[in-house]
Amino acid sequence: MTKPHLTYGPKQTFRRYPRILKKSLSLLAICLAFVQAKAEPKADAIRALFLDHESEHHNSNKFYPMLAKGLGRDAIYFDYVTSVEEALTKKTLTVLTYNIYAARSGVDRIAKVIQSVNPDLVALQEVDHNAIRSKRLDQTKELARLTGLKYFIYEATGTYPEINQDPYKKNYPKLAGPKGLYARTIGEDGFRGIAVLSRYPIVRQKIVPLPGGCHPRDLIVATIEFPTSKNKTRGITFISTHLSHNSEEARLRSVELIGQTAKKTKQPVLLAGDINALPNSPTVKALYSQGWLNPAIGKSIQTFPVKAEAKNGRQIDYVFQFNSKWKSLKEGTENSDRTASDHLAYFVTFQID
């Protein structure tokens, strides 16, 4: 009898894949995680690869807290593949947008919602920084630590304009800061605005001021270095924003600037944020007319308010793509903690070409 073996190639998958090998590979993944933790004794997440099917009992945040603690990390996340070929070619990207309502429920609860999705890129809105009501906490930095999304760049965009002053075309000075990308958009004794978290390095970033209606708005434009193989990467432009809630005119003018920004690059562009507009609104239609694609178009999705029975429930939080036609593997809201914020976290998982 020939020994069980693995073969893989352009059109081949596992042959005679014994149960003992599955267990061995799983054990190897944990051992590698342990070695990594010893080499890098800092609190962030470990990602382990299981050559197996996905099931709820693999969720490390529910069932492996002692293991994570023992490795000195906040969490261990698992990816699942069924063959070596899939492991070598798997290219997915999960993008999440979440209006966190200044984390009034606590940053721990917000972090757990984010961890439940296990995203690669995150756009956050209504994030406090050094505000009295949030105990002077740097919420961006704390959420990066808790989620393991360690790539982030902090940036302030100048002094807070007076209420009702339109910041459109205003020249905001840039201020250097610690890691984390945070655009100051609302002044309330401290900072409140939008933030970006990333699993992958951010190699370039800029802030684009937008028309804001009753208060300032901004775009965060970040270039992400996404790994395509062991030694190769590709650039992805990630745009995060929070558009005006009370002015369609301001939103439409913002869309013009969003389109101008996206057209400056040939890279794939992802736009995520609280757009404050319904799927059939002039604002969203204007995005479509520019060439933005909505993976959830035509689907009934409610991101605000959080009450499931709300008659006026609607989608106002989105993820769009531009310069690409990536297949959406999954899109929807994360419902593990519906009251952590007044919005639900919304995510899309793309299959990268």
Query: CA of 254: how far to CAs of 44, 95, 97, 260, in Å?
Result: 36, 21, 18, 10
Q: What is the mean pLDDT of residues 210-233?
A: 84
Q: What integer pLDDT is reported at residue 225 of this predicted model?
A: 92
Least confident of 128-132, 178-182, 318-322: 178-182
CATH number of 92-351: 3.60.10.10
Whether 262 shows a pLDDT value over 60: the answer reads: yes
Assign 176 a pLDDT band (cuts: 50, 70, 90): very low
| Residue pLDDT, tens place only, 15-33 | 444 556 555 656 665 555 5
Question: What value does the mean pLDDT of the chain take?
Answer: 75
Helix%, strand%, coil% for the chain, nearest 5? 25, 30, 40
Least confident of 63-67, 80-84, 164-168: 164-168
- What pairing do the DSSP bridges indicate for beta strands 191-198 and 121-129? antiparallel
What is d(CA 118, CA 89) in angstroms, rounded to the nearest whole number?
19
For the chain, where are the E strands, in sequence order? 45-51, 75-81, 92-99, 121-129, 181-187, 191-198, 202-210, 217-227, 233-242, 269-274, 317-322, 327-334, 345-351
CB 29 within 8 A of CB 36: no
What is d(CA 248, CA 114) in angstroms, rounded to the nearest whole number?
30
Q: What is the mean pLDDT of residues 245-266?
A: 95
Long-range contacts of 26-32 (CB under 8 A, 24+ apart): 26/50, 26/51, 26/52, 30/67
Whether 43 shows a pLDDT value over 90: the answer reads: no
Angle at the Cα of 317 (from 311 to 322), degrees rounded to 5? Answer: 140
More confident residue, 212 or 208: 208
Count of beta carbons in the 10 Å neighbourhood of residue 87: 16
Least confident of 74-78, 160-164, 227-231, 321-325: 160-164
CB 97 within 8 A of CB 273: yes
108: its two tokens: 């721990």
19 by DSSP, 3-state: which?
A: helix
In this prediction the pTM is: 0.72
Whether 281 shows a pLDDT value over 70: the answer reads: yes
Q: DSSP state, 145? A: H
More confident residue, 288 or 312: 288
- What are the structural domain ranges in the chain? 19-89, 92-351
Whether 42 shows a pLDDT value over 70: the answer reads: no
